[in-house]
Structure 1
Amino acid sequence: MSNQTDAGPCQSCGACCAYSSNWPRFTIEEDEALDLIPSALVNERLSGMRCEGDRCCALDGEIARAVACRIYAIRPEVCRTCMPGDAECAMARRKFGLPVLT
């Protein structure tokens, strides 16, 4: 696994994208922004991202090794606000037995 202090700790983690099927929800997005997300990646209730179990379907790769978001440029606000080392990041990393970022 890469050094967690490098410029891209998220690309070697992905825990926040696989923490809970309720997490990748839509909140303050404008309709125009939501329309950019491929419909195959939106859940049946149109309330958030489609998940397989707790994992967002837009996440490619292996948790704690190498991951990427297929819709990174147009990802929902909840994804944009989760920052490396914040409370949400720490909670997600703990679920996967990963050390909390400092």
Structure 2
Amino acid sequence: MDETSTIDLSTCCQSCGACCGYSENWPRFSIESDEELAAIPEDLVNARQSGMRCEGDRCSALQGEIGKQTACGIYEVRPEVCRTCMPGDAECAMARRKFGLPVLASA
């Protein structure tokens, strides 16, 4: 049995978090409404107001250890780019490779 067949894609993000630590340019704002942006705590927004504040490449809303156990501190109000990255897609694979995690087979 290969490794990807043993991973539950519906919950793998909570044990990964690689996309949230891939690049300070990734957690950006794009099509969010003013109301959606207002729901994101100001201290988590970057100085340019163009995306999430990062510590290095890691989004400041990410909690936990990448590749072990993670969670988004603002999951319910996270930016659209965060909502569109899906387990096993090209962005997921790119981020997982950066951290030496096995690439998932998309569903």
Report which of the two structures shows the higher radius of gyration computed on alpha carbons.
2
The answer to whether the aligner puts 1:66 opposite 2:66 as a matched pair is no
1:76 alignment counterpart: 79
TM-score by length of 1: 0.95
Structure 2 distance, partners of 1:67, 1:84, is 14
SS in structure 2 of the partner of residue 100 of structure 1: coil
1:21 alignment counterpart: 24
Question: Mind listing any 5+ residue stretches in structure 2 that lack a counterpart?
Answer: 1-5
Q: In structure 1, which of residues 85, 88, 91 is the aligned counterpart of residue 88 of structure 2?
A: 85
Q: CA deviation at 1:6?
A: 5.3
Q: CA deviation at 1:83?
A: 0.2
Question: 2:61, 2:73 within 8 Å by CA — same for their partners in 1?
Answer: yes
Q: Which segment is superposed worse, 6-15 or 52-61? A: 6-15
SS in structure 1 of the partner of residue 81 of structure 2: helix
Amino acid at match of 1:36: A
Structure 1 distance, partners of 2:10, 2:92, is 16
Q: CA deviation at 1:7?
A: 3.0
The answer to whether the aligner puts 1:54 opposite 2:57 as a matched pair is yes
TM-score by length of 2: 0.91
Q: CA deviation at 1:5?
A: 2.4
| Displaced runs of 4 or more, over 6 A | none
The answer to whether the aligner puts 1:97 opposite 2:106 as a matched pair is no
Structure 1 distance, partners of 2:23, 2:60, is 12
Deviations 1:20-48 (A, max 9, x none): 00000000000110000000000000000
